[in-house]
Amino acid sequence: MAKPILKWAGGKRQLLGDIYARFPADYRRYHEPFLGGGAVFFDLEPTGGTVNDTNPRLVTFYGVVRDRPDALIERLRAFDDPDAEPDPDQAFAEEGWDGGEVEQYFYQQRARFNRRAYGDGEWPATAAERLEEAALLLYLNRTCYNGLYRENSSGGFNVPIGRYADPDWVQADRIRAAGRALAETDVRNEDFAYVLDAADEGDLVYLDPPYQPMSATANFAEYSAEGFDRADQQRLLETVERLDGNGVDFVLSNSGVTYDLYDDAGFAVETVGATRAINSDETARGEVEEVIATNVPEGRRAGRGQAGIADS
């Protein structure tokens, strides 16, 4: 099985058993509208189907992993240590977008990565630019503070440099394995509701949205400039209700505060505990309460092993 390449907030590797226990024993195609780090997808390695994320940088990354894994690995091997001096032959060797001094290679590459947010025109527009953005995303992900992905209100990636003895940003084996897993999968950059058209009767949809905050002071929208608010949570409920009406199986994970939302809608909901290691607030790391909701009745569930894709 493949493994996630990126460190990503809300990763589901520790909950795979709980999630699989609610999958149907068999299904046709698999869809994942909130891919993120892809822990479930890469563990399953389903054939065909769709994956999606509203973060265009993430979608570009997975497209490059699928279509040009060797070129991505070669480019990653050319990056320097994050604490090194800036490369004088690249942009932002002296000043960043805000005019501040750039003293380390990491901050030069962060500025280059933020051309999508702050630059003029469309970037990345070419295959070479998409390859560069994908390489920059992985490099920054593996060398920034705590592996955190966070955007400001303008869409600029603003996480500072991390402290690692020997960071591995190439991840060659994981890239190749992930590329094989994605080979026959449609990678999309749309609103999650696309799945209403993409999923057919007998398909399975796993949804892992940005979580509704557990408290009034929590702010999960900081991971993306677009955010994901309570209105989106309501739309998500309406989407799974329509999937259910269309004969599509779904399994959904969310924060504990959404229990009543799905229980009142008549779906099976259970609470599970998960440890969170990635958060901008160190005090917010640790075990948090999550829920898993599904329309798959117990008699059709696979149990705690991986479910299988039907032959038909």
Contacts of 104-111 with CB under 8 Å at 24 or more apart are 104/161, 105/80, 105/81, 106/82, 106/140, 106/143, 106/144, 106/161, 107/161, 109/79, 109/82, 109/136, 109/139, 109/140, 110/140, 110/144, 110/157
Give yes or no: residues 228 and 141 share one domain.
Answer: no
Same domain, 96 and 202: no
pTM of the model: 0.89
Same domain (yes/no): 45, 194: yes
| 224 and 77 within one domain | no
Residue 162 lies in a domain: yes
Rg of the chain on CA atoms, in Å:
20
CA–CA dist 196, 16 (Å, integer): 24
* One domain, residues 126 and 164: yes
DSSP character at residue 305: S
List the pLDDT tens digit at each of the 312 positions of the chain. Answer: 899 999 998 767 778 999 999 999 999 999 999 999 999 999 999 999 999 999 999 999 999 999 999 999 999 999 999 999 999 999 999 999 999 999 999 999 999 999 999 998 899 999 999 999 999 999 999 999 999 999 999 999 999 999 999 999 999 999 999 999 999 999 999 999 999 999 999 999 999 998 755 444 444 344 444 568 889 999 999 999 999 999 999 999 999 999 999 999 999 999 997 665 544 445 444 567 899 999 999 999 998 655 555 443
The DSSP result for 241-295, as a single string, is HHHHHTT-EEEEEEEGGGHHHHHHTT-EEEEEEEEE---SSGGG-EEEEEEEEE-
**147, 126: one domain:** yes
Same domain, 258 and 166: no
Q: Which domain holds residue 246?
A: 13-55+189-309
Please tell me whether residues 200 and 266 are part of one structural domain.
Answer: yes
